[in-house]
C-alpha cells in the first residue's frame, strides 16, 4: 500500500476504539503490536489536515 492509498483509508475512518477501527459500519481489529504505530500515524495525519 502506498501513502496515497493509506491516506484514503484514514480519511474514511469513522470511529476508533481501543483495538478496533471502524470505516463506516465495518470493524477492523488492530493487533497490540500495531496499535501504537497506527495511533502515531493517525495523529500525524490529523495534524496535517488541521
Beta strands of the chain (E only): which ranges?
A: 13-16, 20-23, 26-29
The predicted model scores a pTM of 0.67
17: phi then psi, degrees, rounded to nearest 5: -115, -175
Per-residue pLDDT of 3-37, as tens digits, reads 556 656 778 888 989 888 888 888 889 888 888 88
| Residues of the domain holding 17 | 3-49
Number of domains in the chain: 1
Closest CA to 37 of 21, 14, 50: 21
Per-residue pLDDT of 39-49, as tens digits, reads 888 888 888 87
Amino acid at each position: 500500500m502506498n501513502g496515497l492509498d493509506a491516506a484514503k483509508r484514514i480519511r474514511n475512518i469513522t470511529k476508533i476504539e481501543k483495538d478496533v477501527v471502524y470505516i463506516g459500519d465495518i470493524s477492523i481489529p488492530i493487533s497490540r503490536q500495531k496499535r501504537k504505530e497506527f495511533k502515531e500515524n493517525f495523529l500525524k495525519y490529523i495534524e496535517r489536515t488541521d
